[in-house]
Chains A and B, each alone.
Chain A
Amino acid sequence: MRKLLTGNEAIARGAYEAGVRVACAYPGTPSTEILENIAQYSEIDSQWSTNEKVSVEVAQGACFAGARVLVAMKHVGVNVAADPLFTLGYNGVNGGFIFVSADDPGMHSSQNEQDNRYYAKFMKTVLLEPSDSQEAKELVGQGLEISEQFDTPVLLRTTTRISHSKSLVSLSPRQEIPLKPYEKNPVKNFVMPAHQRIKRPGIEDRLQRLAKYADTFPGNRVEEGGAEFAVITSGPGYLYAKEALGDRATYLKLTMTWPLPAGLIRDFIDKHGKVYLVEEGEPFLEEQINALGLSVIGKELFPRIGELSAAIVREKLLGTALQRLTVDCSAVPGRPPVLCAGCPHRGVFAMVAKSADIVTSDIGCYSLGFMSPLNVGDTCIDMGASIPNALGFAKVLPDRKIVATIGDSTFLHSGITGLIDLVYNQGAVTVVILDNRITGMTGHQQNPASGFDIHGKPAPQVDLEQIVRACGITSLWTVDAYDLAQTNAALQAALASGGPAVVIARRPCILIQRNVVREPLEIAADLCKRCKACLKVGCPAIEFAGGVVRIDSVMCTGCGVCRQVCKFGAMRKAGGAQ
């Protein structure tokens, strides 16, 4: 049976078929749907973890206990999880251990473009790069077999186009893999320097054995074709090379790319002489091939920035481009993402804008508070950075009013340690926890504060107020994010407190509480003075056109934020009622 699956769905299917028993992740685009889909297989114990490091550590425990495991994260998630992953390379595995890094060249929804293939080399582990969904599915099972055979963690690296593109996949039944027996083995699993020194030479030996294996790995293969071009390629680069060059080229298609299949590469280059390397992103393969004393034509031709495409391969190797219409699309007004109509963050940002001098933000929907017209946010770096960034600002600029904004899920992911640091070091910072009861930006995943698990079943709910108090915060306010006066009063009091303070602005994400949407509002034309104060909250349901402000009654959720910023009482319930 064949099905159209995204790369992420295919990886989930691969985990099911390969007998994976435990799977963990923290949501992150473009990786999120891997765990969402795995959660649909009752044979796999799946969970959202509080962050990527925790997800890896849970999976490690299950792997030590003898189960096949899978962990999934976006590329920057690997940075968070790097500590346990690096050391796992020393320990090795019991049940197979595969971790997925979903990279995002072109930064469709990410803060950087890091090419995580380098992690495989740095961690002295195995790198697998699928080019489509079928390969993505198969590589889960193959990767787990390599993991068990060579006693190593395995990195399965995708990119946005692999993760989010659908292609045809042949399905197979699940293989039930018995648990490996668990035996206490301190030298293997307990990291003391003495134990690690014993294992250290074995890692080098393992790499050499893996390098030999890479030459025989079935996914590393020559595809004979025309003699015009000889091309080495991997991952999405393979798709673009085949699209552009078709049968005019002969290909060395690489799927297991670390350790490098040096024998295959050497033979291919010896045979063809002039060889092109079509590689998306950094010159990872090129540097390793050059280190073998071999030369290929790679980044001197192809960009290392952004995504590769068939058009780039066509232009660089054939010197041609597809015919195009003569149009100029640059003048079309932009359509940037915005906070939704009824988003509970909107009013909070409107109030923060009034009272704060410097705002450090964080990763989530609320980073959109930065967009015009709200324009709230001086910095945004990585998950959890808002609070420590604010403390740093407070040390240097003590006369400024400094606010850190962070979402509920991000606070649990890596905000708590920052808050403890803020209290311990007594920074005059007001932290606003934008608690919308869900992990929003990645498409509504449950988290420890939402009260539900990955299956939507009730789960213990952590109490943010208690956590905040336990960190040592005594100045704490909880407000309704739709109530601007209450929010503003709390912010003023928090900033006036002169020490670390927290305001929890609570209201569920409008997209998950449609049932409590109130009656839409309209503008009473006779009362509206066209001062445009309502436009400054940037609600997509409010439009200024032809000199008139208008509310879209379909989009309006009746949240009332615009009504509270209107000084003339011009907002009323649609139909004229008060």
Chain B
Amino acid sequence: MSDVKSILMVGVGGQGTILAGKILSMGLMAAGYDVKMSEVHGMAQRGGSVSNQVRFGKKVYSPIIGKGQADILVAFEMMEAMRWLEYLKPGGKIVVNDFRIPSGPILIGACDYPEQVLESLKTKADTTVIQAGEIAKQIGNPRTMNLVLFGALVKGMNLTDIDFETEIAANVKPETLKLNLEAFRAGIAALEK
């Protein structure tokens, strides 16, 4: 199944990984690929670690990405990049949001947020750090952070030929479309630098 590509988006419940996965999958489907997407439901909704897994190619069987199989790891939160790193293929890319959300044990002081996360990721793989929160704030709505990261993903996977803007239009509220498109384009630009 060498032609199958695997995209792993990870973050924290509520960060918008699922919407990004949906837009990605629909764009890939429209481009003629077989696509499978998995998301974790249930307890993850309550502030737990979440992953959204998209696999595409001529024919995809497993909906799940195995360890060492992801072509790209897009982390909406820094510590989650560390957690999911073993799923990255050697030679794969990391796009990581410079954004930290402390988990329960950290909040109550039972342990510390890991240090040197970005530096550590850089020693393991081709890593691009994105200030998606800052970019989204400059655009005018911090909630478009997920579209910034999605833009970076699209650039990172060389999928810019696919018309994702149509899919974005189909999946966000009309009044937020302009900002979401700006966020998406800013994400692409962030990886061009």
What is A's interface to B at a CB cutoff of 8 Å?
2, 4, 29-30, 108-109, 132, 161, 164-168, 238-240, 242-243, 246, 309-311, 321-325, 327, 329, 331-340, 365, 368, 371-373, 441-443, 532, 535-536, 538, 540, 542-545
Chain A residues with Cβ below 8 Å from B139 are none
Contact, CB under 8 Å: A311 / B25: no
In this complex, what residue of B is CB-closest to A367?
B43
Which B1-41 residues sit within 8 Å CB-CB of chain A?
A: 1, 12-13, 25-26, 29, 34-41
Chain B residues with Cβ below 8 Å from A340 are 46-47
Contact, CB under 8 Å: A324 / B68: yes
Which B103-136 residues sit within 8 Å CB-CB of chain A?
A: 103-114, 124-125
Chain A residues with Cβ below 8 Å from B68 are 321-325
Chain B residues with Cβ below 8 Å from A321 are 68
Contact, CB under 8 Å: A322 / B107: no
Chain A residues with Cβ below 8 Å from B45 are 337, 443
Contact, CB under 8 Å: B36 / A368: no
Q: Which of A166, A238, A544 contacts B25 (CB 8 A)?
A: A166
Given contacts A324-B86, A327-B86, A335-B48, contact A4 B104 (CB under 8 A): no
Contact, CB under 8 Å: A161 / B44: no
Q: Does B177 contact A (CB under 8 A)?
A: no
Chain B residues with Cβ below 8 Å from A365 are 46
Chain B residues with Cβ below 8 Å from A166 are 25, 35-38, 63
Contact, CB under 8 Å: B66 / A165: no
In this complex, what residue of A is CB-closest to B84?
A329
Contact, CB under 8 Å: B35 / A168: yes
Chain B residues with Cβ below 8 Å from A324 are 67-68, 86, 90
How far apart are the CA atoms of A68 and B46 in the complex, in Å?
37
Chain B residues with Cβ below 8 Å from A246 are 1
How far apart are the CA atoms of A545 and B113 in the complex, in Å?
9
How far apart are the CA atoms of A538 and B48 in the complex, in Å?
14
How far apart are the CA atoms of A77 and B79 in the complex, in Å?
36
Chain A residues with Cβ below 8 Å from B12 are 335
Contact, CB under 8 Å: A325 / B64: no
Q: Does B89 contact A (CB under 8 A)?
A: yes
Q: Which of A161, A331, A538, A543 contacts B63 (CB 8 A)?
A: A161
Contact, CB under 8 Å: A309 / B66: yes
Q: Which of B63, B69, B79, B109 contacts A239 (CB 8 A)?
A: B63
How far apart are the CA atoms of A161 and B51 in the complex, in Å?
13
Chain A residues with Cβ below 8 Å from B79 are 332-333, 335
Question: 25 A-B contacts, Cβ less than 8 Å apart?
Answer: A4-B26, A164-B40, A165-B37, A166-B38, A166-B63, A167-B37, A239-B61, A240-B61, A243-B1, A310-B61, A310-B62, A322-B69, A325-B125, A327-B124, A329-B84, A334-B104, A336-B48, A336-B104, A337-B43, A338-B104, A340-B46, A365-B46, A372-B105, A441-B43, A538-B108
Chain A residues with Cβ below 8 Å from B42 are 29-30, 108-109, 441-442
Contact, CB under 8 Å: A333 / B41: no
Given contacts A309-B66, A321-B68, A535-B109, contact A338 B90 (CB under 8 A): no
In this complex, what residue of B is CB-closest to A543?
B107
Q: Does B102 contact A (CB under 8 A)?
A: yes
Q: Does B157 contact A (CB under 8 A)?
A: no
CB of A60, distance to nearest CB on chain B (Å): 29
